[in-house]
Chains A and B, each alone.
Chain A
């Protein structure tokens, strides 16, 4: 009887999707709900917790270190968007030009950095941006007669290192996204535009950019997410979660510091909820503006 029930066409689909339902319930819904609950509590692992209402949140509002982390994450996100969307798009269009030589070679080379783990990539960049005059970046500056810079000790220079790392790792990947989008644009459009006497620039703004919109929205969405959730890059660059005057501290870094390093789980959970809200608000606004919610034709 049980076998007959499980094998029926009505029940089978549920058996197929059951693993997802279980994983979703145990590892997403439950933690998410417990995160909300934790954010209203004072918790130390292994001890009793107590309910403190909105205390964690009101403390966050006046926490200058948290504010610093939010500003850092936001600045990082905006700058990665400014760098990692237009340039990869431009490179994709250029490399896709029929006159281009060695396309496959360049595509692969650009992709290489994405193969490295953040740990390895972060270590490489930490050593390249080292403060000694012999380290890579400073020795290049030396060629121009410039004094060695202590990159990881200053706000602006630290961010330069952080953004170089992000640019290095993701330019190639984003370029591939745009390239796969370009593949789906029929050549006829460009031919027709040529007959009408359109310039290359006009073709780019009137045909390429609008038709790349779905890819652009996708890249924008994942970049917002990745920018706001960045943590390990900073951790690797500064060899730990403590950077001088918190110049590299991010929201997740602060969550980690409060939750894991200081065992202050309730407060850290509140940080997580704020991050969730920021991410959702920015992404949903972005998606509403760029028109994902409009019914496609």
Chain B
């Protein structure tokens, strides 16, 4: 189809508009990237800016990040470990629960599902103090279990998996029973393999949330050796410290993994993110 003159004008306007908007979106990334190559004093003196000046830029911060005497990589690996554990547990448990909701009719099912939806509407923040008290009382302070456990049956993830499973033919389960599989055998051998594609979207979404999670881990963890990356970065930002070089190169380096993941698995990020918005 040929494009008319008027349509060409519309196209140019659209592209120009989005290029300008895109510029505003990307400027902070540009600023943080070039600042990662600048000395910390420059940040303290001038703040974050866009000056590209090869005379002051160097790889010093990166050298410091990789060789310096600091806990950065401990935090990095803590985050990695915590993210993996959290994602694996959350996915397996939420999928199991979602299967229970979608495959069976049982007493109390509607009530329990309303509870799932309710969780999505109660601000988690109001539970901070009682949870803090609970964790304190059962002696789980400063432990990763305290961070992982409250989220393992994630309401949003259960909701997503249930939506996904609602399209599943019930005959499949019936056929499994005819073949003599137990209820759990059906789930493990027939259903879990089918759910694989939906795992990707939820793994990425949960992974992203876990990698970036801050407030609750911040309250629970008190030992610097156990800090995760966001908490570690936050502690670098003190009113007295001059850790700006490490802070900025560390921030840059903490966005990088998730950035690369995004570029590789774009579709899954977006699927996971928009799962709740359109009611199926």
Which residues in A have some Cβ–Cβ distance to B below 8 Å?
7-10, 12-17, 19-24, 27-28, 30-32, 34-35, 38, 45, 91, 94-95, 97, 99-102, 106-121, 123-125, 127-128, 130-132, 134-136, 138-139, 168, 171-173, 176-177, 179-181, 184, 214-215, 218-219, 221, 225, 228-229, 231-232, 236, 239-240, 252, 255-256, 259-260, 265, 268-269, 272-273, 275-276, 279-280, 283
Listed by A's residue number, 27 A-B pairs whose Cβ atoms lie within 8 Å are A7-B183, A9-B183, A17-B97, A21-B112, A24-B115, A34-B134, A35-B130, A38-B129, A99-B11, A100-B14, A102-B15, A107-B270, A110-B21, A110-B22, A115-B208, A123-B237, A123-B247, A127-B248, A128-B47, A131-B47, A134-B49, A136-B27, A168-B25, A180-B278, A218-B277, A260-B129, A272-B126
Interface of B is mostly: helix
The answer to whether A134 and B46 have CB atoms under 8 Å apart is yes
B11 touches A100 (CB 8 A): yes
Given A13-B103, A19-B93, A106-B18, answer yes or no on A138-B47 (Cβ-Cβ < 8 Å): yes
**B50 in contact (CB, < 8 A):** yes
A176 to B205 CA separation, bound complex (whole angstroms): 15
Contacts of A45 in B (CB 8 A): 133, 136
Partner of A16, one of B25, B96, B131: B96
Q: Which residue of B lies closest to A177 (CB)?
A: B277
Contacts of B3 in A (CB 8 A): 99
| Bound CA span A228–B152, Å | 25
Quick one: given A28-B127, A120-B251, are A115 and B258 in contact (CB under 8 Å)?
A: yes
Residues of chain B lying within 8 A (CB to CB) of residue A275 = 123, 125-126
B153→A24 contact, CB < 8 A: yes
**Nearest CB on A from B267, distance (A):** 10
Query: In whole Å, how far is A226's beta carbon from the nearest beta carbon of chain B?
Result: 9
**In the bound complex, CA of A256 to CA of B103 (Å):** 42
- The answer to whether A130 touches B47, judged by C-beta atoms less than 8 angstroms apart, is yes
**Could you say which residues of chain B place their CB within 8 Å of the CB of A114?**
273
B124 contacts across to A, CB distance below 8 A: 229
Chain A residues near B269 (CB-CB < 8 A):
111
Complex CA–CA separation, A10 to B254 (angstroms): 48
Minimum CB–CB distance for A24 against chain B, Å: 6
Q: Which of A12, A109, A268 contacts B25 (CB 8 A)?
A: A109
Residues of A within 8 A of B259 (CB): 112, 115
Interface size on B, residues (CB 8 A): 96
With a cutoff of 8 Å between Cβ atoms, the chain B residues found around residue A283 in the complex are: 121
Given contacts A31-B131, A116-B255, contact A180 B277 (CB under 8 A): yes
Query: Given that A35-B130, A119-B233 are contacting pairs, would A124 and B28 also be in contact in the complex, using a CB cutoff of 8 Å?
Result: yes
* B172 part of interface (Cβ distance < 8 Å): no
Closest-CB distance, A271 to chain B (whole angstroms): 8
Q: Is the CB of A94 within 8 A of B17?
A: yes
Complex Cα distance A8/B106, Å?
Answer: 13
Q: Quote the shortest CB–CB distance from A146 to chain B (angstroms).
A: 16
A118: contacting residue among B128, B212, B237, CB under 8 A: B212
B residues less than 8 Å from A265 (CB atoms): 129, 133
Q: Is the C-beta of B279 less than 8 angstroms from some C-beta in chain A?
A: yes
Give per-residue flags for B16-45: 1 if the beta carbon is below 8 A from chain A beta carbons, else 0.
011001101111110110010000000101
Known contacts A12-B104, A128-B47; A239/B128 CB under 8 A: no
B190 CB-CB contact with A under 8 Å: no
Q: Which chain A residue has the least Cβ–Cβ distance from B129?
A: A259
Docked-complex contact B14 and A94, CB < 8 angstroms: yes
Output the least CB separation between B264 and chain A (Å).
12
**Cα(A32)–Cα(B43), bound, Å:** 44
Query: How many whole Å from B265's CB to the nearest CB in chain A?
Result: 12
Among candidates A110, A179, A229, residue contacting B125 with C-beta atoms closer than 8 Å: A229
Q: Which of B26, B134, B158, B278 has the most CB of A within 10 A?
A: B278
B100 at the interface (CB under 8 A from A): yes
Mark contacts of B51-87 with chain A using CB atoms, 8 A cut-off: 1 yes-contact digit, 0 otherwise: 0000000000000000000000000000000000000
User: Which residues of B lie under 8 Å from residue A100 when comparing CB positions?
Assistant: 11, 14-15, 18
Q: Which 8 A-B pairs have the closest CB atoms?
A: A135-B47, A16-B100, A134-B46, A130-B47, A117-B212, A31-B130, A127-B48, A13-B104
Q: Is the CB of A35 within 8 A of B126?
A: yes
Q: By the criterion CB–CB under 8 Å, are A31 and B134 in contact?
A: yes
| Interface flag for B192 (CB, 8 Å) | no
Q: Is B182 an interface residue (CB 8 A)?
A: yes
